[in-house]
Amino acid sequence: MPIPVIDIAQMRAWECATWATGQTEEAVIQQAGQAVAAVIQGLVPPHSRILVLAGRGHNGDDALVAARQLPDHQVIDCKVSSPESGMPLVLDHLARRPALVVDGLFGIGLNRPLDPAWCALVQAINDSGLPVVAVDVPSGLNADTGEPQGGAVRAQVTITLGAPKKGLLQTPAAPYVGRLEVAPDIGLVPCPHPGELWWTLPRDFAGYPPPRPAGGHKGTFGHLVIVAGSLGYHGAAVLATRAALCAKPGLVTLQTLPEVYVPVAAQLQLAMVHPWRSAQAAPESATAWLFGPGLAQPDLPEALRGECIRAWQTARLPVVVDASALDWLPEGPLPHQCVRLITPHPGEAARRLGTTTAAVQQDRPAALRQLSRRFGGCWVALKGQQTLLGQAEGPIHVNPSGNPGLAQGGSGDALAGCLAGLLAQPLLQADPGRAMRYGIWWHGHTADQLQARGGSWTIDTLLRQWEGW
């Protein structure tokens, strides 16, 4: 199950509810340290030198327990009780260039700005250029606002404990948090605080998608119709179609503009590719639509826009709208209980809301809610670091997977095709939210696997990875 994103007060109340059951702080610290160590072991090879910086609070205790769980590494415990006494020792250890620094100086209990001496120590860590793993929260970062309190450690990875703290998801926090990992199982009772935001866990997709019935056939698994590709942008249609095929609907039909039909059709063997014609009927077997990838040619036929609008307003099938087609959508109500999904990046969201990208990024959940309300309560996948998925009401799901390697042309086309390919499948349409969450997570998870291998990779590489599974 997803876990809620909470604030500091809720975390403290959660801890108190746990202590009331007889569970001890010492037991939770042991499990928290073990969870931190498990993540660290995946970040550096055996026998690596690891510097553990431990402050005086429980955050430091978590870090020290983690240090004891790393017997295959050269671990240096450095207890820092004050910046004046700790600075010479920290500088000496940093000069020895450990493979990793573990930041356990301050946790969420820090309630005032760091004084100049602590800021200088934090700056020394940042200036070292060494990779840092922060325990629960980067030292100096406010876990409610995401703002540094005088100064903050810049971590490559933050391992937050129990549940994500809301400040860690704020846009200003990104340079300090790095990649956010959540260690949910640390001995606390179930979290008593339902929230607006819910963090997706990879285990949420155990056994998903479900096994296909033995007697299934192409018709069982749906027929996706994609309208995509125009002069100068035909590659987007190819990428979206390949991604849709990887999601494994029974059939995929691509309708593309006549002037790019030949180069598009030449690259696709497993999809049915047709030149788009005005007023052509959709296949009777169609179970979902995707509009938008590569429809950026400035002089597109007006009838093409009209087809997208009609499908959005009247089709009883799921409709996914991406890229340039987002600008065609009318505001207003939608057919009851029909699935509609838009997939804007922050710039596209800002354009439809009449605001700036910075304003969208300042409060991403609010931007998602506003977009959904404007377009009839549709689903919105607001792309970016920790892509959000939700509607005008109800939970907003935060995706944990993905990395900056996805910031390249074609990434959004692949995601749109994948999501549409999942939503086209009748067996997955009973819970469209889960299908969408899975598609977003799978897209990012594959990128993480490619990034972990090192070297350069493209969206074509990502699709080949999918095609090889």
In the chain, the N- to C-terminal Cα span, in Å, equals 25
CATH superfamily of 218-467: Ribokinase (3.40.1190.20)
* Confidence band, pLDDT 50/70/90 cuts, at residue 111: confident
Segment 274-300 shows an average pLDDT of 93
Segment 188-210 shows an average pLDDT of 95
* Confidence band, pLDDT 50/70/90 cuts, at residue 469: confident
DSSP 327: G
* Confidence band, pLDDT 50/70/90 cuts, at residue 391: very high
Q: Which residues contact 207 (CB under 8 A, 6 or more apart)?
A: none
**Is the pLDDT assigned to residue 281 strictly greater than 90?**
no
Segment 306-315 shows an average pLDDT of 96
Q: Where are the beta strands (DSSP E) in 162-219?
A: 179-183, 197-199
DSSP 66: H
Domains 3-194 and 218-467 agree in fold: no
Both tokens assigned to 188: 């606390």
**Which spans in 104-177 are helix H?**
116-127, 174-177
> How high is the pLDDT of residue 329?
97
Both tokens assigned to 421: 């390919």
The pTM of the full predicted model, rounded to 2 decimals, is: 0.96
**Is the pLDDT assigned to residue 166 strictly greater than 90?**
yes
Dist CA 309 CA 304 (whole Å): 9
Dist CA 141 CA 147 (whole Å): 6
Backbone angles phi, psi at 390, to 5 degrees: 180, -170
Query: C-alpha angle 338/341/347, rounded to 5°?
Result: 155
CB atoms within 10 A of CB 288: 27
Segment 338-342 shows an average pLDDT of 97
Q: How confident is the model over 242-266, as pLDDT tens digits? A: 999 999 999 999 999 999 999 999 9
**Half-sphere exposure (Cβ direction) of 378: Cα atoms closer than 13 Å:** 26
- Gyration radius (Cα) of the chain, Å: 24
* Percentage of residues of the chain with pLDDT beyond 90: 96
Give the CATH architecture of domain 3-194. 3-Layer(aba) Sandwich (3.40)
Q: Which residues contact 85 (CB under 8 A, 6 or more apart)?
A: none
**How large is the greatest C-alpha to C-alpha distance in the chain, in angstroms?**
77
> How high is the pLDDT of residue 431?
97
So where are the chain's domains?
3-194, 218-467
Helix (H) or strand (E) holding 275: strand 272-275
> How high is the pLDDT of residue 235?
97
Strand-pairing partners, residue 224, are 252, 288
**Strand 396-398 relative to strand 388-390: parallel, antiparallel, unpaired?**
antiparallel
Segment 196-216 shows an average pLDDT of 95
Helix (H) or strand (E) holding 351: helix 346-353
> How high is the pLDDT of residue 279?
78
Segment 436-443 shows an average pLDDT of 98
* Confidence band, pLDDT 50/70/90 cuts, at residue 452: very high
> How high is the pLDDT of residue 363?
96
> How high is the pLDDT of residue 1?
80
> How high is the pLDDT of residue 282?
84
Q: How confident is the model over 73-96, as pLDDT tens digits? A: 999 999 999 999 999 999 999 999
**Is the pLDDT assigned to residue 127 strictly greater than 90?**
yes
- CA 128 to chain centroid, in Å, comes to 29
Taking the CA atoms of 222, 384, 403 and 407 in sequence, report the sign of the dihedral they define: positive
Torsion of CA 435, 440, 445, 451, to 10 degrees: 160
**Is the pLDDT assigned to residue 468 strictly greater than 90?**
no
